[in-house]
Structure 1
Amino acid sequence: MGGIIGKGLGSFMTKGLEWVPKALGREPAMAAGWLRSALKRLPNQEQQTFRQLWRKVALEGEQVLSRGEREALRGLFIRLEQVVREPLSPSLKNSLRADAREYYKKLYPQFARILEDFREKLPIHHRRPLQYAQLFPADDINAAENLTMLQKYVHQEINSLWVRFRKAQPNPTADEVKQAAEIIDGYFEPWYHRVDDPPGLSRTAGEASEAALRELRRHFPGLE
């Protein structure tokens, strides 16, 4: 994917596209990650058609595509533009969680074995939750910077904060989600990318959760 994106895809872009050009205009590896995650939002038949046309471009170049194939590929980019702005279904969230876990193993091979052995005890956390993927249509929800490994009990503390946030902010903006994620990160980063408790901490994960909750309440009135 990255190689094709690097050559430029201007001929497949069409009027009305906003987020797809932004996503694919990034560094090839980042653009390829976005495309992998975005394609999962299409029905299986559309995914298959896209991959067939994409493979043809990769092997033979875009000049070999027929007029009908070019129009089909443009149409699929339009479909991507639509689906990346829609909330994720429960089954799609599960699929993206599984992908995130496999990607994390590649990012941190030193943790690959322990992630296999302790799947339930070491979840992979999305710093900006999957719940809000549609608010960031040009971002790969499974990008490296959005993923971290956590102990299960720490993940539960963070999830409880997001539950409170959702109740207080049922329709948040992208900026509000970013702000909440930054606040939570600020209190829990010592536990990120660790299989054990960090040494020398002045507070427990429960105390970090209480401190994060106090700050969230200051920024988001009505948060209980």
Structure 2
Amino acid sequence: MTEKITLVALDMAGTTVSDDGLVERAFGAAATALGAEPGTPRHDRQLAHVRATMGESKISVFRHLSGGDEERARRANAEFESAYGRLVADGHCEAVPGARAAIERLRADGRTVVLTTGFARVTQDTILRALGWQDLADLTLCPADAGGRGRPYPDMVLTALLRTRAADSVRQIAVAGDTSSDIRSGTAAGAAVVAGVLTGAHDEATLRASGATHVLGSVADLPELLTRLEDGR
């Protein structure tokens, strides 16, 4: 029987929010700032890295791609965040089916819900406004809110615990996400439940190899999973 889960940290893009290729489309706008024109081998290599690091802090990804050139990394990140924000504002943003109901069910069951992201705060807020989710969760966090490192570090999960004081132990925390970075972050934080979902970037094998305790078709399945675990089923 699992201890009562009182704090749930949920990723956004790919987990509660449909990505639908927006990250890759926004990367195209940042490629020029990195000196990689679309259609070139360099662009293809950088795009492969973006895919492999889905879920991580975007500024960290661009620092890697720029070879440590902080000015170029920040310029590329700004282009990326601006392009992603425009796509969202133009209507290319939808909730994963059942995500809102799942969050409402989790909170109705007495659990505190925190939405986390690898995006900057301005982009996170744009997504929340587009979906009408400003008051849906108890708290929202981006990497800057947790010291800047983002995933796969445990910082956002632990910041959620410190900010909300919703759990007495990390064994009362559940984390859900669609990427290996999400899973590694939850595992590093010591969460009792680290659930991968199949609505985003990475497949079941990748999620399990990263340490997922469970793999679900969707975040919509999470409330029932937690109830079953707590009931010992």
Does TM-score exceed 0.5, indicating one fold? no
Larger helix fraction of residues: 1
Q: TM-score, normalised by structure 1?
A: 0.30
Q: TM-score, normalised by structure 2?
A: 0.29
Larger strand fraction of residues: 2
